[in-house]
Amino acid sequence: MIEEIKKDAATRMGKSIEALKSEFSKIRTGRAHTSLLDHVKVDYYGNEVPLNQAATVSVSDARTLTVQPWEKSMVPVVEKAILNSDLGLNPSTSGETIRVPLPMLTEERRKEMIRVVRNEAEGARVAVRNIRRDANNDIKELLKEKEITEDESHRGEEEIQKITDKNIADIEQLLAVKEKDLMEI
């Protein structure tokens, strides 16, 4: 039973870290990468779809993304979607290709981004700690119902703590990498 609780906690903590990675990929650094436009939605014949389902997004150089809509009629729609996104980007169209230059990040903007990144990391830490609390409560419940012994309970809680410590360390490592990435010019 304790093994099931540990597996469940580890799985849920892993999902919290994946969610953090996903959030970090949306926060842009000074370099262009295709995941920057992943959350941009485009009106594709009456349906809101992610940009990558209506166009090909590629990196043409370190500071420019190239978006190639699959249909010529979609060029203005895709351009408008990028312009209206919360990314503050100004796409320019040349024929059927949309170029999205990424402006340089100012020092002030970098510090603001670091605050956002730290806030996201703290949210992930809280999620991991909540999962630990839930797992420990499940173990205490088993102890109260006398399905496990005191020793098994303590051992289970220690193992849950080890899993928690590992996941918190992973979050710290992701945060350090992202902060370093943001401060690079």
Query: What is the mean pLDDT of the segment spanning 139-167?
Result: 91
pLDDT reported for residue 86:
66
| 25 has pLDDT over 80 | no
pLDDT reported for residue 30:
62
* Cα 102 to Cα 99: distance, rounded to the nearest angstrom: 10
Query: What is the mean pLDDT of the segment spanning 130-147?
Result: 91
pLDDT reported for residue 11:
93
pLDDT reported for residue 77:
84
Of the chain, the percentage scoring pLDDT greater than 70 comes to: 95
pLDDT tens, 78-131?
888 888 876 677 888 888 888 888 777 778 777 877 888 888 899 999 999 999
Q: How high is the mean pLDDT of the chain?
A: 84
Closest to 110 measured CA to CA, from 28, 4, 12, 49: 28
* Cα 47 to Cα 41: distance, rounded to the nearest angstrom: 9
Higher pLDDT, 7 or 36: 7
Q: Domains in the chain, start-ordered, CATH in brackets?
A: 2-26+106-183 (1.10.132.20), 34-101 (3.30.1360.40)
pLDDT tens, 91-101?
888 888 888 88
Higher pLDDT, 39 or 159: 159
pLDDT reported for residue 81:
84
pLDDT reported for residue 132:
94
Q: How confident is the model at residue 28 (pLDDT cuts 50, 70, 90)?
A: low
